[in-house]
Amino acid sequence: MNVWIPALLSVLVVSVISLVGIIAIALREKTLYKLLVILVSFSAGALLGDSFFHLLPRAVGNSGSFAFNISFFVLIGILSFFVLEKVVLWRHCHHLLDEGAECKVHTSKPFATMNLIGDGVHNLLDGLVIGGSYAVNFGLGLTTTLAVIFHEIPQEIGDFGVLVAGGYSRGRALLFNFLTAITSFVGVVIALLLTSSIANFTIFLVPFTAGGFIYIAASDLIPELHKQTPTVKKVLIELLSFSLGIVLLWLLIFIE
């Protein structure tokens, strides 16, 4: 199968997900908060599930063993996403999980604009990892796309809130969110061109992607869940959603 078609269709779906921010308008704050708790928990599980059930096993399969280069490229992925977050001020801003609290100190228009730039870079990376995964095989491309989508939904809702709080109208916030999402097409084209012209490029890209996903789940999503006041009900909901994300990606092993 021509990998270009499913890869481009996948990033198209991911780009359309950017419009999900409109949900922030339609739902009451309390309902939105409860929804985000479930989505963030689920996406954390899905990202870790994709990393440990699909990406890392594929990286080991490509190398023949869990060689030093796999560990090294995973750490490079973690470090790269850390630097990106620090330098570009990329914030997923799931701060609605702060039990209704607004994005303190992050509601200025300059920050909202910087958030757009960071999102553009982030979406370009989404395209890179999706394209690189499809270059390995269709199953890995599909599972990686699903993991990205599950993460994008709560992120885009948060980003929409940042833009509106920063002075953008709702229409302009949706438009600019969508425009930054289109950079994922640039990423997928770069990935597919590199994998077709550079031998063994996926040996780097697959564990790099795993490292990036592990970083997002462990340092961005999971800490957000600790910001709210814990109750037995909330913890059980988070645990169930987190586990469902992991289980879903485990089940997808059978289609890869």
CA pair distance 139, 55, nearest whole angstrom: 11
182-236: pLDDT as tens digits: 999 999 999 999 988 886 788 889 999 999 999 999 998 898 888 877 789 899 9
- The sign of the dihedral angle between the CA atoms of 157, 97, 37, 31 is negative
148-187: pLDDT as tens digits: 999 888 888 878 877 877 788 888 888 988 999 999 999 9
**Cβ neighbours of residue 208 under 8 Å, at least 6 residues apart?**
73, 74, 76, 77, 80, 129
**Cβ neighbours of residue 55 under 8 Å, at least 6 residues apart?**
133, 140, 144, 206, 207, 209, 210, 213
Range of the domain at 8: 4-255
Whether the per-residue pLDDT at 105 is higher than 50: the answer is no
CB-facing half-sphere around the CA of 12: CA atoms within 13 A: 6
| Stretch among 64-73, 96-105, 149-158, 164-173 having the lowest mean pLDDT | 96-105
Whether the per-residue pLDDT at 92 is higher than 60: the answer is no
pLDDT band at 20 (very low <50, low <70, confident <90, very high): confident
pLDDT band at 140 (very low <50, low <70, confident <90, very high): very high
- Where is pLDDT greater, at 149 or 34? 149
CA pair distance 155, 87, nearest whole angstrom: 19
- Where is pLDDT greater, at 45 or 85? 45
pLDDT > 90: what percent of the chain?
Answer: 45
Whether the per-residue pLDDT at 73 is higher than 60: the answer is yes
- Count up the domains in the chain and report the number: 1
| SS3 assignment, position 133 | helix
Residue 21: what pLDDT?
A: 78
Residue 103: what pLDDT?
A: 47
Task: Say what the alpha-carbon torsion angle 28, 22, 215, 10 is, to the nearest 10 degrees.
Answer: 140
Helix (H) / strand (E) containing 240:
helix 232-251
DSSP-assigned states of every residue in 60-124 = HHHHSS--HHHHHHHHHHHHHHHHHHHHS------GGGTTT---TT--SHHHHHHHHHHHHHHHH
Residue 62: what pLDDT?
A: 65
